[in-house]
Each structure stands twice: as C-alpha cells, then as structure tokens.
Structure 1
C-alpha cells in the first residue's frame, strides 16, 4: 500500500515539474522576451566642445543598423569618414568622443579632450563620404558607405558647441536560447509522469493474503504465486521423505511479495532518468543552436590607415571632380582667377591666371583647354594616407580634342583637393595600366623597382628638351608618338635661326615640389610634374633690339627691348618609367606648356 502511494506521488511530482518547466519556456518567448532594441543616451552636463566624434566600433557593437538621434539648436551636420581622416581633421581642436556604452546599455560613454576652442566649419570637406545636414533634430541610420572602418563627426559651424543631446538605438539580442529546450524538457517530464502512472503494479500482498496461506481465495502477485508453489513442493517432499523444511521457508512468499512494489518503482525511476537525460542532452543542443553568433569584432582605426585603402571612393572622386570642373568653368567664363582659387592651384593656377591676363589684351590668344568631368575615362587613386595626397583622372569632354590628365592634390586634411595640372595626352599614346582600387605613390627620389626615379625621369626629359644631343636621346621615346619633344626643339632652333641680332639660351628645369609618382600595374611608374622652361635672350651688339610677341608683350609691358628679355613657361608633363631591368625607353605620355611670365632685363 505504501509503495502505491509513493508511486503515485512521484508521477504527480513529475507532471507538476514538467508543467512549471514548460511554462518557464513559454514565458521566455512571451512575457519575459527581451525588447527588440536598446537605446543608450549621452549623459547630460558634459563639457561642451565644438566637435564630437562617434567612434566606428559603436556601429558594430550589435548586429544590424544603428539609429542615431541628435537634437540641438540651429543648424548642425553629421559627416561620415574614415577614422584616420576624422582624427586628422579634428587635429588639436577640443572635442568629445563617444567611445562606448555603459554595462547596463543605457548610457553612452563620453571622453573629453581639451584643445583649441574653435575650428573651421567641417561642411564641404572632401574627407567626408556622406554628410547629413539638420536643423533642430536629426534621425540618422548609420550604414557604412563601403567596406572598412568608418567614424562620424558631429558639429555646428566649428565655433559653436556641437549638439550634446545624442541617443543611439541598437538592435538588441532577442534570442532566447533556453526557451525551446525548457519547453521540450517540460513536455518530456509530463510524459514521464504520465508513463509512471501507467506502470503502477497490478496488485500486492496484504495481511489477509498472508493469513490465508496457500489455500486463500486471493492469488496475489506472480512472486507470491511462485512462493506458494515452492512451499507446496517443499511440503510434499517433507511428507514423502520425512525431512523437515527449514525454518522461515513458509515466509518466503511474503518477502518476495514485498519486493514487487520496490522493483516497479526502480523500473519507473530508470525510465524517468533515461527520459531526463535525453531531455538534458536535447537542451544542450537546442541551446547551442539557439545562440546567435557573436558579431565579429570591428577592426581598429589603424586598419584604415594601412596600405590598400584608397584615399577616395568613386562617389567622392566624382563629386570632387565636378566641383573642380565647375570652378574652372566659372573662372574661364569670367577670365577671373579669383574664381579658380577654391579648386585650382600650382601650375594650373599660374597658367590660367596669366592666360586670362593675356586674353584681356590679345583677343586672338588661345584659351586654356577646358576641364570636363562628364566623360571620365579612368581614375588613379593613391593608397598613401599621409598628406599631401594625390589623385589623377583621365577625362575627355566638350572642347577636349584629346583626353587630358587631371592631377589633383590635397595639401592637408582641412584643405580640399585642387587641380595642379591639366595635361593633354600625346597623340597615339597608350595610357599605362594602373590599379584603380588604390595604388602606391612613391617619393620623387625613390627608385625601388624602377629604371629611373621620378626626379631622374623629369631631369632626363628636361635635358632632352634643352639639347638635341642630350644623353637621354635614346632613353626617351619620341617621334610621332611624342611630338612635343620634336616641336619644342624645332621652336628653339627657329628662334636661334631667326634672331640674328641676339644670343639665346633655353633651359627646362624640374620643380621638385610638383612631382607626383604613381606605381603602374606592370611595376613601372607614371611620373607627373612641372618643368620651368626659361627662354633667355640678349642683344648681340649695343643698339640691337629684340622683339617679342603680343602675348609676351601683354605681360612684359612692351614689345621691344635693347637690354634683353626673359620668357618663362610652365610645362606640365607625364612620363612613363619602365620597371627595373626593362630594355624599353621611357615614354612621354602627356605634355603642354603655358606662358606664365615675361620681363625685360
């Protein structure tokens, strides 16, 4: 009787435990389910600063898109750029940095850096890939514009404090890895309890059975029947042989009968243990499968500084090129060099400035070739992330008889790219292949892997242009593919032949600070730079005069001189240098010149 009660209680306990476990699993999916998002807010009362940086690691803190809400007074902007670009633009300016999230996920962690109280407005910088402008409030979904690391810069105008009300909403980990396993385990426990109820004994010995002996009307369990049969057999043996049965033999039936409930309970317990073990094993597998993979850790900002990361994306390059072309168009149309200043510098600014001055006095003087962005043939982008940075484009639009190389340079982080050279390709020239995904730029003196360094190549070209008998005559390809060399030598020879009353000297000298060297796909290099072409004339005899053309006269202030004159031209050139070990000569890829100065001695 006691065994039956324990049997029943165990089964009921299993069912109740199963129900509780099942409800716990269901609760994890419903009332206890985690929220879909979690929002962290910047603490109030921090130190004000004109700039705020949001580190790129926050974008990858959780999987999915991060949403940022910024509130502030008046106009402000949020710009996206490479971490090293953002850091370089911030420089020594005082700023706050959003570095992470508190342990409870409710607060953004801010770090303040002291520095200069103001900075130029970051609006319009070429460093930013995307820019969001707002007034009062901005809701921004942070998605990367390309592979790699990205940071954000928040600012008003560089002088006012940046907005301090910032909140970031992250996708939350809504996985409940124990929900399904708990529901499975609960169901198994309920089944185990039900099975235990069905496994209860069919009957058991009672005091009445024991008093009835072998002849009682109640048969008892199988064990009891076997015991009674054995007792009968022993009695027959005793009667037949006179042997006396061992004391206590008659009680064997009762002992074996008491074993029955315990055996049944042990069998049921073993079944429950097997079911529980199976449930626990299933729980481990389910929990493991239910766990979301941890997000890959974001790379440090140093990764963006490494080789292989181009300084511009295609979208940036096209935007910059359009602004450059627009500035040149405005300057050319008005013959006003001031309109060039935001986007033109170096040789190109010198040549166009003087071109405008000459054309204002000499209507027939040929204008400079226009700069176009509409037909972009190729781009060359450096992966050298230090400044100055150089990029190049090959374009051919309206007014471009041949394609031209446009060389742009960014002198420092807070300056924009400016056009320093617009050089038409030589007829019949094939532009060398250069990796568009970002290529190496070399120092002008670096000869590694090259037949000549950049400065040697330009110096060789200068010597070749100065003398028909130059030592570089066989080292630099010329002829139909490069008519510039032949035309320059012919021009100089004509001046000498026609100027019987003068002595003339010509020189083509490299301007080192204008030299840019890009590595080509075949291991060679494309060298772009400027030569100063000086044309010096002196009368042979006292009283002799030299006459200059109308274009030079517009700059010199007169046409005739008896003391001598000096004309200066800026030559924009590009030379291909073969890789080391090659037997091929260098090739002049592009060249042009423009008058930038004329004076009397």
Structure 2
C-alpha cells in the first residue's frame, strides 16, 4: 500500500503547488487595491503627513495626480506647520481601512484660512525640494529620525495645490493562500518521497537471502513456513513443540505461534531463518511482550481464542507500563522534535526473565510497532514544517525564556535612555545640508554686493550690524581703495545651531575662505518661519583662539537672555567689562579675560600713541550697545555672546597744537588738519566665549572695527 500512497501523495503535492503558483501568477488579479483621498475644497497648500506611510504594511510610496507644474518640499512637521500658519490648506493623513465591502480611503481634511500666501519656494526650512509636472510616483524618504517629517505641495502660493493622492494596498489574502498551497504541496511531496523510500526498503528486505538456515526465526513467519514444510500432521508439530518446551528452549516457537504469523511483514522462504533484533527497539518490544503457548495439540479454534487472549495480554502490559499506543490518534504527546530516544533504564534482576520471554515477540507486533513509529515520525516532521510553524519560527526564533525576558528588559532600558538623552539634548533645527546651502547663498549674495559696492544687493541675506558694517565699508572704499570687505567663507569648520522650535532661530558658524588665512565667525538668524536666515554678524577670529568643536546637527544649543547669568557671567555684563578692559589694561576685569594677540596689540598701540603725542591728550570710551546683542548656550553650559558697540577716540590738542588727519578720517572730517577737538567714532563688533565654570576665563573670539564718523568740535 505504500507505493500507491506515495504516487497519490506526489500527484496531490504537485497539484497543490501548481494551484499555489497559479494563484500568484496566472490567476492573480490584474487590479491592484488602492486607497484614494476624498474630494475637498481647493487650497494653496497641501500637507502630507508621515501617517500616510507605513513601511510595515508595504506602503512606502504614493502617487500624486496633478496637471501642470508644482513643487514638493520635505521638512520637519513643526516647520511646515509654522510656515503654513493661518493659510488655507489640505491635510492628508493615514489610510482608513474600509469595513465590510467599503473601499479604503485616505484621511483628508480641509482647513480654512488665507487663500493666497507668499511663494514658499526657496525657504530655508525645506530639507529638500523638487519641482515636477504631471502625475508623480513619490517614495517617502526622511533624512533622519530627529522629529517627525512631512511634505508640503504648492505651486506659487496663489493657485490651488494638488491634493489627489493614491496609495497601493498590499494583496494579503490571495498571496497568502497561494503561498500556503505551495508550502503544503511541498510537504505532501516530501511525504510521498518518504512513503516511496519505505516501500522500496520493504521490498529489498523481502528479497534478501537468509544467512543461517539451521536456526529457527524467533517470533517470525519463518517458523510457520518451517512447520508447513516439515510437519504434515498436527501430531508431529505438537510433538516437536512439546519437546522444545520440555527442553526449556525459550528461543523457539510452537506450532500455534507459527500458525498465527502467516502474514508478517518479514516473511522468508527459508524455514529456519535467524531472527534479527534491532537493539534500539529493545525497550519497545519488551513492553509489548511475546506470545507463547503450552498446548501440545493442534486446535484451530483454540488457537484463535488464545490469540485473542494474547492480544489482550499485550494491551494490558502496555497500559500497565504507562506507555501510549503508538497508533492511538489521541496520543499527541509522542509528537516531539526528532532526536535520539532516551536510554532505557537498567534491567533489574526480576525483569531478566520477562525480557527473555519478550525476545520471542512475533514479527507481526514488530511490524505494527515499526509502522506506528513511522507514522508518528512522519506526523512530527510534517507538523514541524507546517506553514504556521515556519512563519512563527521565522518571526520569533526559539530561545531561552530567561534570555528573551532579559533581552526585552535591556531593550526597554535602552529606549528609555535614548528618550532621556534625546529630550535633554534635543536636535538641531538645521541639517548639515541645509546649513551649507544657507552659507553658500549668503556668500554668493555678499560677493555680488561686494563686487558692485552696492549695499542694496545685500538684501535679503544680510541685515543688522553685518549690513551696517558692509555699508560703511562700501562708503569708505570710495575714499580709500584699500578698504575692502572680508569675503564670506563657505567651508564650515564648526557650527552651533539652536535646537528650539521657536523663532527667531540663531546659529554661530565658523567658516574659512579659500584665500583667507584666518577663519571667520558668522552669526545668522531667522526672524520668522516665512523669512530666511540672514547674516547679522561677521568678524575674523582672533589668531590663537579656539572655538568648541560642534557639528551642525549635534543640537543642544539654546538661545538665552543676554542679561541672564546663564554661565559664569551674563552676556551683556561680560561685553561691557571687556570693552572697558580694552580701553584700560589695568582694569580689574582683565583678570577674567584670556590673553590674546589682538588685545595685546591694541593696548600697546594705544599706550604708544599716548606717549608719542606730547601736546595732545588722547582718551578712549567704548559704551556698549545692548540692543543688538544675542547669546546662545552651548551643550557644555558655556555661552556665546555677540554684540556691537561704538568705540570713541577723543583727541584734545593743548596750547594751540594741531591735529593732522589722513585717509578716510580726513575725508570724513573735511580737513587734513585742525586745532579743534576731534572725536573719531569706530563701529566695533565682538564675539565672546563665556565659560560655564568659575576659574575659567572669557575668550575674545573675534573683534572687527571700522571708522564710522569723525566729528570736529568747534
């Protein structure tokens, strides 16, 4: 029966696998399930939230249906919300699964507001933007894991933005059914191979020659064959059996034993073939017990009765031993992973005689036992490779429960640590690419204005003190060609960018121009969401000073009140005291300022000038301008302070002495020489690094000055 069963299994397995492949290919539906946005009113802006994308559901791209040209901008959700503000817009959210037969839809919401907005193109808030035309299949790609990201779709701020979006939904049911059929078909084919192997193995055993014709096979059909060949009458057989019994030979079988074993699975044509006992099955055959008789006469009816009694004895012994019938379909406890069988316990002295009798078990019981174990092994193999088990093992690999619990605990603790670190450090509001683009744009804008000496060309990228200084530079250049502005470098060496979401936002950037030997300190600021970053301060670094090594995306930088004592000194307080120290080297605050070349040269020049002018009184005042000052706290607790002030040099001639003026000062004074008092006012810009701890000194990172005006006092 095994050969026909194997053929049937092969055919059934191929049929199931073929149907599964057909469901995934030929019979697969050409229609792809989709979800679409609902129809809403037109708006100049369309916001696509991160909820539309679900990589775990195989939904990481969507299609925008539109006509004409439009732009897609990628930015953090908070930045898009800040830019949109009170403008009318359409928000596209998550996919809403349809219930029953209802189709799935995409959550769509219209918000009333301003019907026109400024053109959003070119905003510094966008991490990336793309202008396209017509239908577009877009794949979602967030630059990093800092915060939530969204998309903004717009045209020019006046025309309605596209809002028709479609996403494809995964075909779960059909693909799952096809996959299950393929797996089950493969398993059935394996079962067919197993049955074919068993059938061929049985035929080979039936055809194999016996090696010892002089020995009677124990408990096997050979005994029956021998009886049929040598004993023509029951009396002769009975006599032989009685003689064997009387002699105490426990390894031979009786006539009745032979008559009951005419259909065993190990039939042999040789009358006295030796028995081959599998040592690995010693425990199993011992439990079932052997069949023996003490009758010396041949009685078919008695044989039947005793055969039944023997079967009952087998069942009773099996039950008393506590083992389950191998062919019992309810005995699921025997289906265990394939592995070595447990070693049988050592036989006691009382069990030796029972084991001797068990060795005479017939081949019928042995064959039934083997078939039962084969079925159990095949069932266990099929169960272990079932689709559900395969999927479960693939998704949840087996491991020690203690290790699994420990791993989960460590994972939770790691997530808590990451959350705490992220909450404390925050993240920069600018990516490195965004900051580089801003610096490049500022450098390009200032280079164009410097080439034409036109201050109007600085807008909209330069404002505040940086714009005033460059405007003074262009004016002074007309008087002295040697007066030029320092080019803005584009190579970013370090940057401290604020992490807060509020406006204005600021950043301190250290850059290097390709032709300059000294780096620059740039301070940029974004006043509102719809405005771009502007350069508000630009000074050359003092030689020998150092700036903290901070990357643009490190985060942890916060704007602070310049009058608040966030570090060792408040920003404005430090600015005022450093300005006084520059005028007077004996000023007490000099003990808290780090020495550098600029301060030494400036104070030495002032002292030399005072000593050389015998009939001229020279004094210096540097009143601090606090309105334009800013301060930022770095991750280490220190503060960067930025400010500007007017430095006045007062020249007072004595006894009719004259003051000689040259260059720009002479042009601004309108004379080369005067006996009147003269005030020369310079605009100075200063950037300080204030330490967080006591004992450390304030570092003057950069100072820039330019002649602002010359006043001749009558």
The structure whose Rg is larger is 2
- Aligned residue number for residue 408 of structure 1: 524
Q: Do structure 1's residue 313 and structure 2's residue 431 form an aligned pair?
A: yes
Change over 3 Å in CA distance of 1:558–1:96 after alignment to 2:
farther
Displacement of 1:292 after TM fit?
9.8
Q: Are the structure 2 counterparts of residues 464 and 251 from structure 1 closer, same or farther at C-alpha, using a change threshold of 3 Å? A: closer
Hey, what does 1:322 align to over in structure 2? 440
Closer, same or farther: CA 506–482 of 1 in aligned 2, 3 Å: closer
Which residue of structure 2 lines up, in the alignment, with residue 353 of structure 1? Answer: 471
Distance 1:32 1:81 in 2: 39
Rounded Cα–Cα distance in structure 2 between residues aligned with 1:388 and 1:454: 18
Segments of structure 1 that go 5 or more residues without pairing to the other structure are 1-7, 203-212, 236-246
Matched position secondary structure for 1:42: strand
Change beyond 3 A, Cα 1:281–1:80 = same
What is the correspondence of 1:322-471 to structure 2 with a 5 Å cutoff? 322-360=440-478, 362-364=479-481, 366-373=483-490, 375-397=491-513, 400-434=516-550, 437-443=554-560, 444-448=562-566, 450-471=567-588
Q: Distance in 1 between matches of 2:120 and 2:31?
A: 32
Aligned to 1:589: 701
Q: Would you say the 8 A contact 1:24–1:182 is kept in 2? A: yes
Question: Could you say if the C-alpha distance between residues 257 and 161 of structure 1 is closer, same or farther in structure 2, counting changes exceeding 3 Å?
Answer: same
TM-score, normalization by structure 1: 0.75
Q: Do the aligned residues in 2 keep the contact of 1:177 with 1:286 (CA within 8 Å)?
A: no
2:643 to 529, 541, 561: 529
Name 2:184's counterpart in structure 1.
182
CA distance in 1, matches of 2:31, 2:590: 72
**Equivalent-residue separation in structure 2 for 1:550 and 1:377 (angstroms):** 36
Greater share of residues in strand = 1
Q: Displacement of 1:344 after TM fit?
A: 0.2
Q: What is the CA deviation profile of residues 3-22 of structure 1, one whole-angstrom value per residue up to 9, with x for unaligned ones?
A: xxxxx6x9978976785566
Over 3 Å counting, the alpha-carbon distance change for 1:195 and 1:463 in structure 2 is: same
Q: Distance in 2 between matches of 1:490 and 1:262?
A: 120
Alignment-derived partner of residue 24 in structure 2: 32
Q: Distance in 2 between matches of 1:555 and 1:328?
A: 25
Q: Deviations over 1:343-394 (max 9, x none)?
A: 101101111123323434x244612222232x44333333344322222332
Whether contact under 8 Å (1:66, 1:170) holds in the other structure is no
Q: Does 2:578 correspond to 1:578?
A: no
**Equivalent residue number for residue 400 of structure 2:** none
Aligned to 1:286: 390
Q: Secondary structure at the match of 1:31?
A: helix
Residue 97 of structure 2 corresponds to residue 103 of structure 1: yes
Shift of 1:133: 0.7
Give the SS at the match of 2:435: helix
Q: Give the Cα separation in 2 of the matches to 1:141 and 1:214.
A: 91
Do the aligned residues in 2 keep the contact of 1:477 with 1:585 (CA within 8 Å)? yes
Distance 1:125 1:277 in 2: 65
Q: Which residue of 1 aligns with 2:305?
A: 252
Residue 78 of structure 2 aligns to a residue whose secondary structure is: helix
Which residue number corresponds to residue 514 of structure 1?
629
- Distance of 1:331 and 1:499 partners within structure 2: 40
Task: Name the CA shift for 1:65/1:455 in 2 (closer, same or farther; >3 Å).
Answer: farther
Separation of aligned partners in 1, 2:438 and 2:70: 22
Q: Is the 8 A contact 1:79 1:131 kept in 2?
A: yes
Q: How does 1:481-560 map to 2 (within 5 A)?
A: 482-483=599-600, 485-486=602-603, 489=606, 506-519=621-634, 524-533=638-647, 551=664
Quick check: 1:381–1:438 contact (8 Å CA) kept in 2?
A: yes
- Judge conservation of contact 1:355–1:367 (CA < 8 Å) in 2: yes
Which of 74, 79, 84 in structure 2 is aligned with 1:85?
Answer: 79
Matched-pair contact (CA < 8 Å) for 1:177–1:288: no
Q: Unaligned 5+ residue runs, structure 2?
A: 204-219, 222-232, 238-255, 265-289, 313-361, 398-410
- C-alpha distance in 1, partners of 2:377/2:393? 23
| Structure richer in helix, relative to its length | 2
Change (3 A) 1:517 1:479: same
1:276 pairs with 371, 379, 393, which one? 379
Query: Structure 2 vs 1, CA of residues 27 and 535 (structure 1 numbering), >3 Å: closer, same or farther?
Result: farther
What is the alpha-carbon distance in structure 2 between the residues aligned to residue 485 and residue 179 of structure 1?
88
Aligned pairs (5 A) from 1:132-143: 132-143=130-141
> Which region of structure 1 is more displaced relative to structure 2, 461-470 or 301-310?
301-310
The one of the two structures with greater contact order (alpha-carbon pairs below 8 A, sep at least 6) is: 1
| Structure 2 residue matching 1:49: 3-state secondary structure | coil
| Alpha-carbon separation, structure 1, partners of 2:171 and 2:421 | 27
Shift of 1:599: 7.1
CA RMSD of aligned residues (A): 5.3
Partner of 1:74: 68
Distance of aligned partners of 1:396 and 1:250 in 2 relative to their CA distance in 1, 3 Å threshold: closer
- Equivalent residue number for residue 151 of structure 1: 150
Instruction: Name the CA shift for 1:134/1:119 in 2 (closer, same or farther; >3 Å).
Output: same
The number of equivalent residue pairs is 565
What SS class does the counterpart of residue 161 from structure 1 fall into? coil
How far apart are 1:67 and its partner, in Å?
A: 3.7
Which moves more between the two structures, 467-476 or 549-558?
A: 549-558
Decide whether the 8 Å contact of 1:227 with 1:252 is kept in 2: no
Match 2:261 to one of 217, 222, 233 = 222
